[in-house]
Amino acid sequence: MRKLNILLLGGTKDSTEIIKHLKKNYDTYILTTTTTEYGSKLALEAGSDDTISRRILKDEFIEIINNSDFDLLIDATHPFAEHITQTSASLSKICEIAYIRFERPPLNFKDIDTTQIIYAKSFEDAGEIIARQIPEGNVLHFAGANTMEDILKNVSKDRFYPRILKVPKSIEKCEKLGISNDHIIPMKGAASLKENIDLIEKYDASVMITKESGEIGGVVEKIEAANQKNISLIMIKRPVIKELNKKDTVSNLDEFDEKLEKIFD
């Protein structure tokens, strides 16, 4: 296989694993886009040749692709980054570039006790459920800074404790929403079962909020912590992205290699 010039939409643990895999097994140049400096740092450490660490609009993506010699567009963003995946699927058609969507598989709930889980269709819906069904106790928010505002439409910030990356953009969001600094829980990767239990006890939580982000997102540990402490876990269901062709989607590195060979061999 010839050298591949790759534009990778990253910012996830999946994306850093893909970078490492590509650099180990293929001759590649990789430009990774992330929305944070932290994501950019992780991508460079994984082996990405260059990064862009800011939000990029669709027209600029088109310009980047058309003005460069990219062979492949890989979308390895979060399963809940609905807008960027819609955009990436559209870009592949507009720019006529080979495209792979890497999406971590959903969690297999077969052997998991799900009695504490309450499913919500959106974050605003999650806030409404809490206001209606769980009016007492504090709320641990394990679903990122960008989703806080929808929860707080129905939940008092006085009982709201978000676990977020302590980066400027996230801190600014907290300040704008009136979330005090002593309510912010610094995040460094997925929490272990013990860490989740410790947080429930420390903040006297009656409910946790999480996305159905798969095993890699630490969902199993959150479910088990909720079960052990007998508190509710509100889980936001994954969005269904209609623009995405299932034929373009892979969910592990073996499928990824097969897709690459099919495209370029």
Mean pLDDT of 45-74: 93
pLDDT digits (tens, 9 = 90+) for 110-129: 788 989 999 999 999 999 99
Mean pLDDT of 43-69: 93
Please report, rounded to a whole number, the percentage of residues in the chain having pLDDT higher than 70. Answer: 98
Residue 217 has pLDDT above 70, yes or no: no
**In a shared domain, residues 9 and 72:** yes
**In a shared domain, residues 191 and 156:** yes
Query: N- to C-terminal Cα distance for the chain?
Result: 6
Query: What pLDDT is attached to residue 53?
Result: 92
**In a shared domain, residues 190 and 206:** yes
**In a shared domain, residues 9 and 97:** yes
pTM comes to: 0.71
Confidence of residue 2 (pLDDT cuts 50, 70, 90): confident
Which of 38-42, 133-137, 170-174 has maximum average pLDDT? 133-137
CA distances (Å), origin 76, targets 17, 34, 198, 201, 250: 10, 10, 31, 35, 10
In the three-class reduction of DSSP (H, G, I as helix; E, B as strand; rest coil), residue 48 is classed as: coil
Query: What pLDDT is attached to residue 94?
Result: 93
Look up the CATH number of the domain holding residue 209: 3.40.50.20
Going along the chain, which residue ranges are E strands? 4-9, 28-34, 50-53, 72-75, 98-102, 117-120, 138-142, 160-164, 185-186, 205-211, 232-236, 249-250
Mean pLDDT (the chain) is 91
pLDDT digits (tens, 9 = 90+) for 76-86: 998 777 788 88
Domain contains 205: yes
Domain contains 110: no
**In a shared domain, residues 260 and 245:** yes
**In a shared domain, residues 126 and 221:** yes
Structure tokens at 51: 């990064």
Give the structural domain span for 207. Answer: 117-236
**In a shared domain, residues 50 and 128:** no
Mean pLDDT of 154-177: 91
d(CA 130, CA 174): 20
- Between strands 98-102 and 160-164, the pairing is unpaired
